[in-house]
Structure 1
Amino acid sequence: MTGTTRSSADLDPRRRRILVRAWRRGIREMDLVIGGFADAEIGSLNDAELDELELLMAEDDGDILRWVTGEAETPERFRTALFDRMRSYVPDFEPEPTPKGQAAEQ
């Protein structure tokens, strides 16, 4: 299972390929960020935005994760409106603390 909730039936081959790559990153956190972004926006991205997304997806997943979480400064070439939109798909990766006296759910 890829995690995608979007059908690719209405997408052209390039968008289909990007959608698959977005959900098969190698780091689950990046699947969620890039895949979630692609699910929501792949159909509306223009050619320049698709180019930019493909360039970003060619970067190391660990680097992208640090950029989207703010652990590391995002390189100038990726400080774009598209990257900012993708950042809005970052889930809360920090687990909520278990209140004292309650067992953590398994």
Structure 2
Amino acid sequence: MHSEDVELKRLKWRAHHRGVKEADQMVGGFFDKHSATWDAADRALFTALLEEQDVDIMAWAIGTQPVPARFQGGLMQAMQRLDYLPIAR
């Protein structure tokens, strides 16, 4: 198995096991929708993002708190679209 595959598998697990259902859906759903297109820099940024508190990540994604400079850019802009969240009907 490639080291990149191992890294993505580890990131997927961490993204889906945040500890709070809403964070699992948001962070895990974002990973599922976007990770296939990530390069090494995106994976590194997402890894750093996973070290942050769920309440902060969610606040940045929904726009209730300003995004720290280190996370501003394309990855966070994609997260802020919220197009990866399931909507119960």
TM over 0.5: yes
After superposition, the Cα gap between the structure-2 partners of 1:51 and 1:83, relative to the gap in structure 1 and judged at 3 Å, is same
Could you tell me whether the CA contact under 8 Å between 1:33 and 1:87 is conserved in 2? no
Aligned partner (choices 30, 43, 48) of residue 55 of structure 1: 48
Identity %: 30
Mapped to 1, the partners of 2:72 and 2:9 lie a distance apart of 25
The 3-state SS of whatever aligns with 2:19 is coil
Quote the offset at 1:72 in angstroms: 1.1
Please list, as runs of the form range in 1=range in 2, the aligned pairs for 1:1-80 lying within 5 A after superposition: 12-80=5-73
For residues 25 and 76 of structure 1, the distance between their equivalents in structure 2, rounded to whole angstroms, comes to: 23
Q: 1:12 is paired with a residue of what secondary structure? A: helix
Question: Given that residues 16 and 27 in structure 2 are in contact (C-alpha distance below 8 angstroms), is that contact kept between their aligned partners in structure 1?
Answer: yes
Q: Once superposed, what is the RMSD of the aligned Cα atoms?
A: 2.1
Mark the runs of 5 or more structure 1 residues left unpaired by the alignment: 1-10, 94-106
5+ residue gaps, structure 2, are: none
User: Could you tell me the TM-score, scaled by structure 2's length?
Assistant: 0.81
| TM-score calculated relative to the size of structure 1 | 0.69
Deviations 1:9-40 (A, max 9, x none): xx710000001111001222221111111112
Matched residue count:
84
Q: Larger C-alpha radius of gyration, 1 or 2?
A: 1
